[in-house]
Amino acid sequence: MEHASNDPSRDGVLVDGAVTRPSRLTAHDLGRLPQRTVTCTFRGSSGTRTHTYAGPLLLDVLHQAEPRFDPRIKADPVRHVITATGGDQQQATLAWAEIDPDFAGRAVLVALTEDGRPAEGGRPRVVVPGDKCGGRYVAGLVRLHLSAPFPGGGARP
């Protein structure tokens, strides 16, 4: 695992934001995490598709970076969002509560393979099982950014 840099064109997925250990994870790094397999059906630009994906849970990838949650803020983790960015600058956001097993606990993947073959372009893809549309299936993943909408909790004026 390499320390993070600001060059998104380099190999690997930059994991940064509200984390103690920002990093750039290669496919090899991601492959060392526990792997899950899911089969998903979703609507895409070319119609309804069904694929089988394998890779680590997004939750495991983020836990490795050590999210910085503030214990002084009630339910601080659920204020946080994850923004996934693809190489084509496609972005999708997920709430922390969607992947947290204490809440929705969805098995969102950082997929390394699709139907047994390496993901398109050799770059991981975010896979959100249960989504009817593939809009949050971010291909060519280059960055995962964890953030809270407003620092310190509470409503913004």
Interatomic CA distance for residues 18 and 80, integer angstroms: 9
Round the average pLDDT of the chain to a whole number and report it.
90
User: Residue 150 above 80 pLDDT?
Assistant: no
pLDDT band at 10 (very low <50, low <70, confident <90, very high): low
**8-147: CATH, from 3.40.50.2300, 1.10.1040.10, 3.40.718.10, 3.90.420.10:** 3.90.420.10
23-25 and 13-17: which strand pairing?
antiparallel
Q: Tens digit of pLDDT for each residue in 19-34?
A: 999 999 999 999 999 9
Q: Is the pLDDT of residue 157 over 60?
A: no
Task: Indicate if the pLDDT at residue 43 is higher than 80.
Answer: yes
Domain boundaries, the chain: 8-147
Within 10 angstroms of residue 26's Cβ, the number of other Cβ atoms is 16
50-98 confidence digits (pLDDT tens): 999 999 999 999 999 999 999 999 999 999 999 999 999 999 999 999 9
Q: Which of 25, 20, 14 is nearest to 69 (CA)?
A: 20
Percent residues over pLDDT 90 in the chain: 82
- Strand-strand pairing, 13-17 and 141-147: parallel
Environment class of 78 (CB within 10 Å of its CB; exposed 0-12, middle 13-18, buried 19+): middle
Band (152; pLDDT cuts 50, 70, 90): low
The closest of 52, 70, 65, 55 to 122, measured between CA atoms, is 55
Compute how many other C-beta atoms are within 10 angstroms of the C-beta atom of residue 107: 16
What distance in Å separates the CA atoms of residue 38 and residue 155, rounded to the nearest whole number? Answer: 38
